[in-house]
């Protein structure tokens, strides 16, 4: 194992108990109730979900209501976030774009979670050549900076919502595979797993009933933090014009389009960026609180790799 991997493992060192996933989740939720930062984060997330679901209904005007007479208007009562270079209402666009961010975040982390956990589970459980092959593949994916790999995938598949989700999902898969594998390695040596093996339970059953619940803690933490990073990645992709395509609004794209006017029209830079920041911050606050409760030693690899 390479030294960096060693550190990665150290950073994602998992402490597992036989407490099971349900108990851990309950413990986590009750701890979150007493953490003001986590509560704030959760409240922001709840608000975001509402906006994501009802954005176009909440928006005061249509996202593509072009009105050249009213272009680049500063914030006012009729346009609280001002208007853009085409006279569109920035508030409405920010509200509607929430859905895309959340959707890309959830779907891509979902992809990474399912694929990564499956690979990590098999690699850690069966060890041997399968482990070697799978983990070397993960190493290869890890050799690319996150955003570069995502950009390359989108470049090949063509820009758009679906490809952005796939690209981000692929990029975050190795982290889940590693966290899972590290957890499996420590759990599979424990008495209850050996006991299950000795009474002849099938491998799949053991993985599902005994191994998975016991590595739930680091996975929950990794998921919530990955959501934050995935949303940042989505914003970066859409900033580069590789995310959801116009005329649909996206926060990153709004910043890109507004960057040339930003010295005359500060609101074009401030509001979409603040929306990204608050969303990511909310996921991070909840994720950090979960980590403090569930898995205090884990400092995720993704944090170390955030820059790209």
Partner 1 sequence: MARFVLRRLLQSCVVLLGVTLVVFLLLQLVPGDPVRVALGTRFDPQTYEALRARAGLDQPLVAQYFDYLGRALTGDLGVSFRSGRPVTSIVLERLPATLSLAVTAVVFATLIAFPLGILSAIRSGSFVDHAARVFSQFGVSVPDFWMGIMGILLFAGVLGWLPPSGYVALTEDPAGWASHVALPAATVGLVTASILTRFIRSSMLEVLSEDYVRTAEAKGLRTRVVVLRHVLRNALIPVVTVVAVQLASLLGGVIVIEVLFAWPGIGRLTYDSVQARDYPVLQGAILLVAALFLLVNLLVDILYARLDPRITVR
Residue 36 as a binder of partner 1 (CB under 8 A): the answer is no
Choice from 217, 235, 286, 289 touching partner 1 (CB under 8 A): 235
Q: Does 307 interact with partner 1 (rule: CB under 8 A)?
A: yes
Q: In this chain, which of 152, 162, 194, 202 binds partner 1, going by CB under 8 A?
A: 152
- Report long-range pairs for 185-194 (Cβ below 8 Å, ≥24 apart): 185/124, 186/14, 186/16, 187/16, 187/211, 187/214, 187/215, 188/124, 188/125, 190/16, 190/18, 190/214, 192/18
- Looking at beta carbons only, is 18 or 277 nearer to partner 1? 277
> Shortest gap between Cβ of 103 and partner 1 (angstroms)?
18
C-beta separation of 32 from 290 below 8 A: yes
Interface residue with partner 1 among 103, 106, 144, 201 (CB under 8 A) is: 144
The residue count for binding partner 1 (CB under 8 A) is 57
Residue 10 lies near partner 1 (rule: CB under 8 A): yes
Question: Interface with partner 1 includes 145 (CB under 8 A)?
Answer: yes
139 binds partner 1 (CB under 8 A): yes
DSSP for 32-47 reads HHT-HHHHHHHHHHHH
Instruction: For residue 270, state whether it binds partner 1 (rule: CB under 8 A).
Output: yes
Cis peptide bond N-terminal to 67, omega within 30: no
Contacts of 62 (CB under 8 A, 6+ apart): 92
CB of 232 to partner 1, least distance (A): 6
CA pair distance 48, 52, nearest whole angstrom: 6
**Is residue 136 a contact point for partner 1 (CB under 8 A)?**
yes
135 part of the interface to partner 1, by CB under 8 A:
no
Q: Is 157 in the site for partner 1 (CB under 8 A)?
A: yes
Q: Is residue 154 a contact partner of residue 239, using CB atoms and an 8 Å limit?
A: no
- Residue closer to partner 1 by CB (options 159, 213) is 159
* 273: CB partners within 8 A, 6+ apart: 251, 255
CB 193 within 8 A of CB 210: yes
155 contacts partner 1 (rule: CB under 8 A)? yes
Other C-beta atoms lying within 10 Å of the C-beta of residue 127: 14
Backbone angles phi, psi at 83, to 5 degrees: -125, 160
- Residues in touch with partner 1 (CB under 8 A): 2-4, 7, 10-11, 136-137, 139-141, 143-148, 151-152, 154-158, 228, 232, 235-236, 239-242, 252, 255, 259, 262-263, 266, 269-270, 272-274, 276-277, 280-281, 284-285, 288, 299, 303-308
């Amino acid at each position: 194992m390479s030294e960096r991997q060693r550190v990665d493992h150290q950073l994602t060192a998992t402490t597992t108990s036989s407490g099971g996933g349900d108990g851990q989740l309950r413990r986590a939720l009750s701890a979150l109730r007493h953490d003001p930062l986590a509560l704030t984060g959760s409240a922001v997330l709840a608000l975001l979900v509402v906006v994501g679901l009802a954005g176009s209904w909440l928006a005061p005007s249509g996202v593509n209501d072009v009105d050249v007479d009213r272009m680049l208007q500063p914030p006012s009562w009729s346009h609280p976030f001002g208007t853009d270079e085409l006279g569109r209402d920035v508030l409405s666009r920010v509200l509607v774009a929430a859905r895309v961010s959340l959707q890309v975040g959830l779907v891509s982390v979902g992809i990474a979670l399912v694929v990564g956990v499956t690979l990590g589970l098999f690699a850690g459980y069966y060890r041997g050549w399968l482990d070697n092959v799978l983990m070397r593949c993960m190493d290869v994916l890890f050799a690319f900076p996150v955003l570069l790999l995502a950009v390359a995938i989108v470049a090949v598949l063509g820009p758009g919502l679906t490809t952005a989700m796939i690209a981000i999902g692929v990029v975050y898969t190795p982290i889940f595979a590693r966290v899972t594998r590290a957890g499996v390695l420590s759990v599979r040596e424990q008495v209850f797993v050996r006991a299950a093996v000795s009474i002849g339970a099938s491998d799949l059953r053991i993985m599902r009933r005994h191994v998975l619940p016991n590595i739930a803690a680091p996975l929950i933490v990794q998921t919530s933090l990955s959501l934050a990073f995935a949303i940042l990645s989505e914003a970066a992709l859409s900033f580069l014009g590789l995310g959801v395509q116009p005329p649909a609004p996206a926060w990153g794209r709004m910043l890109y389009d507004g960057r040339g006017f930003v010295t005359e029209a500060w609101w074009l830079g401030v509001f979409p960026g603040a929306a990204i920041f608050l969303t990511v911050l909310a996921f991070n606050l909840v994720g950090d609180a979960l980590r403090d409760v569930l898995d205090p030693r884990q400092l995720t690899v993704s944090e170390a790799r955030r820059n790209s």
